Chain A
Amino acid sequence: MTESTYRIQGATGDWEVVIGLEVHAQVTSQSKLFSGSATAFGAEPNSQVSLVDAAMPGMLPVPNRECIRQAVRTGMAINAQINKWSRFDRKNYFYADLPQGYQISQLYHPLVGEGSIEIVLDEKNPENSTKTIGIERIHVEQDAGKLMHDQHPTMSYVDLNRSGVALMEIVSRPDMRSPAEAGAYLTKLRTILRYVGSCDGNMDQGSMRADVNVSVRKPGEPFGTRTETKNVNSVRFVMQAIEHEANRQVDVLEGGGKIVQETRLFDPNTGSTRSMRSKEDAHDYRYFPDPDLLPLELDDAFLEDCLASLPELPDAKRHRYESDLDLSAYNAGVLTADVETARWFELLLAETAKAAGKQPAEVAKQASNWLISELFGALNKLGTSLDESPVTPEKGAELLSLIAKGTISGSAAKQVLEIMLETGDDAGVIVEREGLKQESDTGAIEAEVDKVLAANADKVEQYKAGKEALFGFFVGQTMKAMKGKGNPQVVNEILKAKLAS
């Protein structure tokens, strides 16, 4: 476990920052938490609203089993306690985006209890930079609708498409001590959710957003009073909000002031937070058990099914890549950071191994290096990403096998990849068309080498007399004669042999 050295340097000395996150993650499901309405993002306003979502008189909620299943699987993925008996409570408050006048949530008996997540603070050195962040609970609740203030000069409109969509509220312990830790936590949580498939993690679409609790203290002292900055919707913003809020609190405290427990808003344009409402103005939510719903009781068969449906999770995968595939910690970390990357890599690996007739472990290094340094680099240059890549794992494997067989050189492979990304054509087709095949036939190369050595007999003498730097000259002359298509390895070997004789 690493201790954070992150400190805010105040006039009175160093301050430590204490951070806890409440992450709202939209559950991936076809329909809402308590109704059959669809949940697609970006639909026409009010096109995904049932009578229940609009809270028409006499309408009743019926729990969607899939949403519960996803939350349970998420809990299992963070090694959390799953509560076989939980209950829904009503959180009462009035707002125009909340049709029922209450949100159905879980205050007293959440579905998921204590768990934890391991974060890595230095990808190059994961073994010595891990930290465990405690998770207090995950509960399931309804999302609210959305107010639209730009549709009419004097009125606000309400879009209820989101009303009733299932959210998981994932509440961490106040275990983070720096913006970087909070960023790593959020990133790791997103990774896990995407592996599990319980949330798509699209922060720009609001599928994941965080309430950020921040306080400061002198190291070793008890926790200070915290503020809560609501609805921050990117990792970068969360880190900015923490940095700003921690500095603000230090300024207030060192100026002789007190921190007020309050709710704050983050302004992405300025990177700062401002007060929304203080504790005195806080709502009294009048939580009580929802009498429309029976307690949620889960049986063993359901839990077993949830557990059996979990995929290999990122930490396990990373360790397996290191131990079984002998990948570097860094490579293993990069490849497992996103479920799609890992899936892509595993397909590439399987195809490459098949083409080479080898075990995956034998080609893993080649495949991972190519993916990370070649394909990622090329995609980056094009400003695109793996999921939009015209190069599929199958096509990538073909290219790798051409390299492995010595059909093309490393530099030709870069060229082939560029053309593949442009045209989507297969590597073999491109190699033929562009004439990029390299000559590995020893006879042909020997003939060329003999010619070069014969034409440069003086230099051969000098070489043999000890001027070994001339070796590069011979290689260059041979390659030149072969128009760059000679297999450099074979050329080297033959040259060495001939010059030694």
Chain B
Amino acid sequence: MTDLTELGVAAIRDGVANGTFTAVEVAEAFNANVAAAQQALNAFIVATPEAAIEAAKATDAKRAAGEALGKMGGVPIGMKDLFATKGVQTTAASHMLEGFKPEYESTVSQKLWDAGAGMLGKLNLDQFAMGSSNETSYFGNVISPWRRNDGGNAALAPGGSSGGSSAALAARLCPAATGTDTGGSIRQPAAFTGTTGIKPTYGRCSRWGIVAFASSLDQAGPMARSVQDCAIMLEAMAGFDPKDSTSLDMAVPAWEAGLSADMKGKKVGIPREYRVDGLDADVAKSWDDGIAWLKDAGAEIVEISLPHTKYALPTYYIIAPAEASSNLARYDGVRYGLRDLPDGANLQDMYAATRAAGFGAEVKRRIMIGTYVLSAGFYDAYYTQAQKVRTLISHDFKNAFTECDVILAPTAPSAAFGLGENVDDPLKMYLNDVFAVPASLAGLPAMSVPAGLNAEGLPLGLQVIGKPFDEQGVLNAGLAIEQRAGFTAKPEKWW
């Protein structure tokens, strides 16, 4: 019998639908993998095997009754612990929310359950989604299942902030997982782990019930092991939500049915500004491979310019912390979550003690940066200026898309780095997002697909950026790359 945990979303959905195996069998197989890997990889904060079985039973019962199974019928998934799940601890990987069980279900997770998916557990992440290596979680680092081919056992970062999602996918702990992307948090972890993930156009997926980091940038998206699986899951996640004012009031296209790897008549833009000095040689090579593959798929390659690219990272690190400093003010110890009330403390003391104890160092750093850039006297110089630059970056893309249909670039400047390598140098850590952040600032759909392995045997990802609302174009270019990259590598099981 096939190892069910090697299967992706489409294969499970179809196998369950045509009776090759039951949804319960699938859930049991993934539950077993989750349990076996927890100690070594720490991908989950909470495992919910019963929830996975319960959903699977419901799917099997529906099938027995001849009912439709839904887009994700019988597919168990991992849920990033940034999505509120009713009755199940939801922490954002912070001590602040340890033990917090919401009375509500996020719109996106509810849509997935409605589509027939089941929950294997809540996936670890960087605390409040702030980080690029999953080292800021209060619940411990996630260890990537990948190792370098140098024979060493150095623990590598699975990327961040959706590091639990990416590690679990690569280690076959789930066939698909939710991610959220504020400045690359879906794409960079996907690239680090040889998996696939798409951040849709800002507004495609409702933010209702997702713990907010930076509201104008946060966007949920699927992570899986193939482009088709991402298309299926995104269809289940997306859709207008009247509870989110920034939600797009547009019909959800049939992305899976629209998949086509034929790039004839399409123009692929190669942004010259992304070819930075000292670009990692393996990364540069994979980019060239991507160009060749898309040409092979029939696309015309054009050089484009995104002149404000170099300002994207500093702009992001003003806007995102500014919004975060305000979004995280609600964690004050008054109504829910952690409360630290020292003897004789007044209200101010309680705030200080609670927030000192509840937030990790990176979260505090960003709250302080955000508070600073919004303060009287600095607001115009930082926040207003950053918003202007953000507009310029959007215009860059708008102009570029008059000359091309999609843009191809590396996802990250390097392959996965070792845990601890960047923790003392926040700037170096932030640089990981240099290629991912511009599309976030412009609210554009962007995905990462595996391109191959570097000299150390570690996965590299290629990024496809599309026009607003053109997830289909992004998925199709991703599919063209996927088919030609023939990426089948997987981490050797050591856990």
Contacts and interface: CB of A to CB of B under 8 A. Distances in A.
B326 A90 contact: yes
Interface in B70-125: 83-84, 90, 92, 97, 100, 102-104, 106
Contacts of B376: 284, 286
A57 B245 contact: no
Contacts of A90: 326
Contact of B209 (A58, A94, A293): A58
A290 to B, nearest CB: 8
A94 B351 contact: yes
A288 B211 contact: no
A296 to B, nearest CB: 10
Interface in A72-111: 90, 92, 94-96, 99-102
B138 interface: no
B247 to A, nearest CB: 9
Contact of B214 (A99, A102, A291): A291
Given A57-B97, A92-B374, A62 B214 contact: no
A62 B249 CA distance: 14
B216 A56 contact: no
Nearest to A293: B245
Given A60-B208, A294-B245, A284 B375 contact: yes
Interface residues of A, number: 30
Given A288-B379, A293-B245, A60 B374 contact: no
B107 to A, nearest CB: 9
Contacts of A284: 375-376
24 contacts: A56-B84, A56-B103, A56-B336, A57-B102, A58-B102, A58-B210, A58-B211, A60-B243, A60-B244, A60-B245, A62-B242, A92-B374, A94-B351, A96-B347, A99-B335, A102-B326, A102-B329, A156-B347, A286-B375, A288-B326, A288-B374, A291-B246, A292-B212, A292-B215
Interface in A294-339: 294
B92 A92 contact: no
B135 interface: no
B207 interface: yes
Interface residues of B, number: 44
B181 interface: no
Interface in B323-358: 323, 325-326, 328-330, 332, 334-336, 347-348, 351
Given A291-B216, A294-B245, A57 B334 contact: no
Contacts of A292: 212, 215, 245-246
A40 interface: no
B322 interface: yes
Contact of B92 (A54, A55, A57, A293): A57
B442 to A, nearest CB: 15
A61 B215 CA distance: 12
Nearest to A160: B335
Interface string A156-196: 10100000000000000000000000000000000000000
Interface in B189-227: 207-212, 214-216
Nearest to B372: A286
A149 to B, nearest CB: 12
Given A62-B245, A288-B383, 16 more contacts: A56-B104, A57-B90, A57-B212, A58-B207, A59-B209, A60-B243, A60-B244, A94-B332, A96-B332, A99-B334, A101-B326, A101-B329, A101-B332, A156-B347, A288-B374, A291-B214
A119 B208 CA distance: 47
Contacts of A293: 245-246
A60 B203 CA distance: 13
Contacts of A51: 103-104
A58 B335 contact: no
Interface in A225-267: none
Given A62-B243, A99-B330, A291 B323 contact: yes
Contacts of B323: 291
Nearest to B100: A57
B371 A286 contact: yes
B334 A158 contact: yes
Interface in B404-432: none
A99 B334 CA distance: 8
Contact of A286 (B335, B351, B379): B379
Contacts of B383: 288
A101 B245 contact: no
Interface string B358-372: 000000000000010
Contacts of B102: 56-58
B248 to A, nearest CB: 11
Given A60-B244, A63-B245, A292-B246, A55 B326 contact: no
Contacts of A96: 332, 334, 347
Contacts of B379: 286-288
Contact of B330 (A55, A286, A288, A294): A55
Contacts of A60: 207-208, 243-245
B463 to A, nearest CB: 24
A292 B244 CA distance: 8
Q: B210, B334, B347 — which one has the most chain A CB atoms within 10 A of its CB?
A: B334
Interface string A23-56: 0000000000000000000000000000100111
Contacts of B214: 291
Interface in B232-255: 242-246
Interface string B467-478: 000000000000
Contacts of B330: 55, 57, 99-101
A287 B325 CA distance: 12
Interface in A360-405: none
Contact of B84 (A54, A57, A101, A294): A57
Contacts of B374: 92, 286-288
Contacts of B375: 284, 286
Contacts of B243: 60, 62
Report, nearest first, the 4 A-B pairs whose CB atoms are least far apart: A101-B329, A286-B374, A291-B215, A291-B216
A287 B243 CA distance: 24
Nearest to B322: A288
A94 B346 CA distance: 13
A54 B332 CA distance: 12
A59 B326 contact: no
B211 A57 contact: yes
Given A51-B103, A55-B330, A294 B246 contact: yes
Nearest to A147: B347
Contacts of A57: 84, 90, 92, 97, 100, 102, 211-212, 330
